[in-house]
Structure 1
């Protein structure tokens, strides 16, 4: 189980891009166009909720269960790419 509070990495800005009709991550060198699932996860990575709360919120919003493996895999990939950073929930 992944712990921590994900927040946007330094140098990235997350926003809805009407011209692309999707969420994007902007950074000095360019833009990353996100699919709907990635956008739904990142919109919840507000620096306030821990990973468990994000998963619970997604499962409630989409009336589904068992999203933990997919959400944790995405967050781990996003941390590896420095899109997100995980902060201690006890800090």
Structure 2
């Protein structure tokens, strides 16, 4: 992953919270992905303005002790591979 990458949701992808399910969702053309755990919280920081290290620092500050330095970049890479982030 490029440290200078500023992740943002792909144009056809929308992040929404479903109050009925109590879960965050990615709405894609003809598909809905139910996100688990803190995935929605991570994706909310992906606004195209912040670089990955900044997102990791902020999440580490908000969730002390969580393994964000290892897990968040890997998660963002997977989301990019799926085509959900650019």
Contact 1:2 1:72 in 2 (8 A): no
Partner of 1:57: 58
Say which structure, 1 or 2, has more relative contact order (CA 8 Å, 6+ apart). 1
State how far apart, in whole Å, the 1-side matches of 2:26 and 2:44 are: 11
Contact 2:60 2:69 in 1 (8 A): no
Displacement after TM superposition at 1:37 (Å): 2.2
- How many residue pairs end up in the alignment? 85
Stretches of structure 2 that go unaligned for 5 or more consecutive residues are none
Scaled by the length of structure 1, what TM-score is found? 0.84
Scaled by the length of structure 2, what TM-score is found? 0.89
Could you say which structure has the higher strand fraction?
1
- After TM superposition, what 4+ stretches of structure 1 lie above 3 angstroms from structure 2? none
Displacement after TM superposition at 1:15 (Å): 1.3
Stretches of structure 1 that go unaligned for 5 or more consecutive residues are 86-91
